[in-house]
Amino acid sequence: MLLENRTAVVTGGSRGIGRAICVAFAREGANVVTCYAHGSSAAEETVKLCKEFGVEAVAVQADVAKPEEVKCLFAEAKKITGTIDILVNNAGITRDNIILRMKDEEFDSVIDTNLKGAFYCMREAAGVMMRKRYGRIVNISSVVGIKGNAGQVNYAASKAGIIGMTKSLAKELASRNITSNAVAPGFITTDMTSALPDNVKDELLKEIPLGRLGSPEDVAEAVVFLVSDNAAYITGQVISVDGGMAI
């Protein structure tokens, strides 16, 4: 198993991409700690799926936009093995609107969760990883952070910012054997995309050279690779999992 006996923190693991990452980690032998902001049932289902692989798994209620709750999340994670080996920043929200109608709250809430939340988690993880001189950090960005998207100025800003933070952190932590990479998913089959009208989906497919929406598992496998020893010499990179959409 690629991640045997390692402990991973995965934010936003209740469903979709986050759940797929948690389950893939558990399959490879990692203990998994995930968090949820609202409602525990979906997060507990993720925990159940992870435990089927014989690993430790726990869900913690924590809003990553609040630094004090992030501290509690990491404190709970360290109770499993006393350390943290892997961090995946996946928690994210959308508040789409065209710029002339976008309210301050719509902009700020997306930046607070998607960008500042990732920063708070990276700061906590870095302290642990630097002391042990080992760590793997993967931040979930988006194709929107690379090429932009109408009606998503706030979301695009947060996901582009994640790429900048990823590269900067890679330079800061490389000497301590800690890698920092980003994965930029394209249009993935999740609760969010399933609500799109068929005509919108048809138009999206025209932009994807591989001709299909991605699955959460497509993203999860890329993340597993980046946190494994197979990717020990890869840092500061952005891996697009988008079927060629960003070409």
Report if residue 2 sits inside a domain: no
pLDDT tens across the length of the chain (247 residues): 999 999 999 999 999 999 999 999 999 999 999 999 988 999 999 999 999 999 999 999 999 999 999 999 999 999 999 999 999 999 999 999 999 999 999 999 999 999 999 999 999 999 999 999 999 999 999 999 999 999 999 999 999 999 999 999 999 999 999 999 999 999 999 876 777 778 888 888 999 999 999 999 999 999 999 999 999 999 999 999 999 999 9
Q: Which residues constitute the domain of residue 94?
A: 7-241
Measured CA to CA, the distance from residue 101 to residue 144 in angstroms comes to: 20
Report if residue 1 sits inside a domain: no
Report if residue 32 sits inside a domain: yes
Report if residue 139 sits inside a domain: yes
Query: How many domains is the chain partitioned into structurally?
Result: 1
The whole-number pLDDT of residue 201 equals: 83
* Percent of the residues in the chain that have a pLDDT greater than 90, as a whole number: 93
Report if residue 121 sits inside a domain: yes
Measured CA to CA, the distance from residue 155 to residue 51 in angstroms comes to: 33
Report if residue 246 sits inside a domain: no
Please list the residues that pair with 180 across neighbouring strands.
Answer: 137
Report if residue 24 sits inside a domain: yes
Q: b vs e for 200-234, b when ≥16 Cβ sit within 10 Å of the residue's Cβ? A: eeeeeeebbeeeebbbbebbbebbbbbbbeebeee
- Catalytic positions: 155
Q: Which of 220, 229, 124 is nearest to 179 (CA)?
A: 229
- The domain spanning residue 113 has which CATH number? 3.40.50.720
Report if residue 247 sits inside a domain: no
The whole-number pLDDT of residue 192 equals: 67
